[in-house]
């Protein structure tokens, strides 16, 4: 370990100044049932802000000597950081925003463990999953019950090109001028740009309490470290609850260019909007990117048409190279959301009315067996196919950047996906296009596909990558 790494003791600024001996023991427990591993991984991700690594394994390996210890004495909680990334400190003092993120990790990991460990057996009930998301968000003080809808969720890739990143800032700026707050997956790229642009606009509009909400989960946080603009960091237990939190908390979604993870999010949202119960519920869903990035949305749009059909294509709109038009449309659609919720007597702060079926809430474990069992066929309802395709892409994300997925690929080889020829050919075109557009990973030159498609021999482009 070099002298560049930092040892420091950190205390909370305001909240979480008291822990029980049981909580401290749980956080320090290195056994399979303890929280130490999750705490170390999430804390390292927060401290490693600004990292250009998008592999959880690479981050953990680079900082393999990092450690975090907790003491709870008469003065309250203290975190001892050993061999921490130096970028989190200025003149030996931890940056205040990173300090807040560090204790947000502690807050959310403990809350989920303490409040929900005894009710996991009930999580096959959709209402219970939705209630769990609500309680986590409420505990994080993310709900604003007396504020009109104004939170735009922005999805997009962490490894986008520079001109795409600049475009996300322009859109964020236009959103901020219209008094809209920003919620993203909290990482770099298209997750940071809208917040950065909105921050300037919020300053111009003299908005003192602007919100930059970042929602993540333990499996992805090390590969997408929270960006420094996030002022409300929330760690959900898994990817499915993270996705539901976006939809329940936000009042509309804007999608920027990305890769497989962004396509996964798109399929998740489409699967929900395709539910008959949600037909009359307004929910803004806008795809946008700069001139020169049309290929991403053309590819995604064609894939949706080939798999889910024209009805799904009617659930979103595409606006290219026009930040003003995107923000104006978002503001208009959010006003429609406000009118609808007021008329229906629904809450502004949490989207209880939207129906999310259990297939979108049940955590999907991307093992080789589970990936092979996915039903990738059009001989089923469109929303069910959307769920199955979402799981397929979630598995590819895991194989690309998450430690368990990377380890599984090393041990057993690529995931194999099987399905109806028409669906597999559409999936082949989508994934091949992402590889050609260099949208799979930051280090795209070294990218090796973690998946294999079983399909007619006439189509083999992804297998031969």
**How far apart are the C-alpha atoms of 258 and 235, rounded to whole Å?**
22
pLDDT tens digits, one per residue of 84-135: 999 899 988 999 999 999 999 988 988 888 777 655 555 557 888 899 999 9
- Pair 223, 367 in one domain: yes
Segment 245-261 mean pLDDT: 96
Q: What is the pLDDT of residue 222?
A: 78
- Pair 164, 282 in one domain: yes
pLDDT tens digits, one per residue of 68-96: 988 776 667 788 999 999 989 998 899 99
**How far apart are the C-alpha atoms of 215 and 137, rounded to whole Å?**
10
**Enclosing domain of residue 34:** 6-117
In a domain? residue 161:
yes
Residues above pLDDT 90, as percent of the chain = 62
pLDDT tens digits, one per residue of 4-28: 788 998 887 665 666 777 888 888 8
- Pair 45, 150 in one domain: no
- Pair 112, 155 in one domain: no
In a domain? residue 136:
no
Q: What is the pLDDT of residue 2?
A: 45
Q: Is the pLDDT of residue 52 over 70?
A: no
- HEC secondary structure over 115-169: HHCCCHHHCCCHHHHHHHHHHHHHHCCCCCCCCCCCEEEEECCCCCCHHHHHHHH
Segment 225-240 mean pLDDT: 94
Regarding predicted confidence, which is higher, 435 or 183?
183
- Average the pLDDT over each of 33-37, 341-345, 381-385, 442-446 and give the range with the smallest value: 442-446
In total, how many domains does the chain have? Answer: 2
- Pair 241, 323 in one domain: yes
pLDDT tens digits, one per residue of 263-302: 999 999 999 999 999 999 999 999 999 999 999 999 999 9
Q: What's the mean pLDDT when you consider all of the chain?
A: 88
In a domain? residue 122:
no
Q: What is the pLDDT of residue 124?
A: 56
- Pair 398, 463 in one domain: yes
Q: What is the pLDDT of residue 118?
A: 55
Residue 20, judged by CB atoms within 10 A of its CB (0-12, 13-18, 19+), counts as exposed
- One DSSP character per residue, 289-300 reads E-TT-HHHHHHH
DSSP-based three-state secondary structure for 452 = strand
Segment 446-465 mean pLDDT: 60
Confidence class of residue 395 from pLDDT cuts 50, 70 and 90? very high
Q: What is the pLDDT of residue 1?
A: 40
CATH of the domain at 58: 3.30.1850.10
């Amino acid at each position: 370990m070099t002298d560049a790494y930092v040892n420091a003791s950190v205390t909370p600024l305001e909240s979480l100044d008291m822990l029980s001996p049981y909580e401290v023991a749980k956080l320090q427990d290195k056994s399979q049932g303890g929280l130490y591993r999750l705490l170390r991984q999430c804390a390292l991700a927060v401290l490693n802000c600004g990292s250009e690594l998008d592999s959880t394994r690479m981050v953990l390996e680079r900082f393999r000597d990092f450690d975090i210890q907790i003491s709870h004495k008469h003065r309250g909680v203290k975190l001892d950081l050993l061999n921490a990334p130096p970028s989190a400190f200025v003149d030996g003092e931890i940056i205040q925003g990173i300090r807040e993120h560090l204790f947000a990790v502690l807050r959310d990991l403990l809350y989920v463990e303490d409040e929900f460990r005894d009710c996991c057996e009930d999580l096959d009930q959709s209402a219970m999953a939705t209630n769990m998301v609500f309680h986590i968000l409420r505990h994080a003080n993310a709900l604003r019950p007396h504020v009109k809808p104004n939170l735009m969720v922005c999805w997009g890739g962490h490894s986008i090109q520079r001109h795409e990143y600049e475009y996300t800032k322009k859109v964020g700026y236009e959103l901020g001028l219209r008094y809209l707050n920003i919620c993203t997956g909290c990482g770099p790229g298209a997750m940071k740009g809208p917040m950065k642009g909105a921050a300037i606009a919020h300053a111009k509009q003299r908005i003192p309490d602007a919100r930059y909400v970042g929602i993540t989960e333990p499996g992805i946080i090390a590969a997408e470290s929270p960006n420094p603009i996030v002022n409300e960091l929330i760690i959900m237990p898994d990817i499915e609850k993270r996705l539901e939190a976006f939809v329940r908390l936000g009042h509309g979604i804007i999608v920027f260019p990305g890769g497989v993870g962004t396509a996964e999010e798109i399929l998740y949202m489409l699967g929900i909007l395709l539910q008959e119960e949600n037909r009359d519920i307004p929910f803004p869903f806008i795809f946008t990117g700069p001139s020169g990035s049309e290929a991403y949305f053309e590819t995604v749009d064609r894939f949706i048409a080939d798999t889910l059909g024209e009805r799904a294509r009617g659930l979103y709109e595409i606006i290219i190279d026009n930040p003003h038009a995107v923000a104006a449309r978002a503001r208009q659609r959010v006003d429609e959301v406000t009118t609808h919720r007021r008329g229906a007597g629904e809450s502004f702060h949490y989207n209880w009315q939207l129906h999310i079926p259990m297939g979108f809430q049940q955590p999907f474990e991307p093992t080789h067996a589970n990936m092979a069992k996915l039903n990738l066929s059009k001989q089923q309802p469109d929303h069910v196919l959307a769920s199955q395709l979402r799981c397929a892409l979630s598995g590819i994300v895991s194989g690309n950047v998450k430690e368990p997925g990377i380890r599984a690929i090393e041990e057993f080889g690529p995931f194999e996906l099987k399905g109806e020829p028409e669906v597999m050919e559409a999936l082949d075109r989508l994934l091949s296009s992402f590889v050609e557009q260099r949208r799979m990973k930051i280090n795209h030159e070294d990218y090796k596909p973690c998946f294999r498609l079983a399909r007619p021999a006439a189509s083999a482009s992804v297998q031969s990558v």
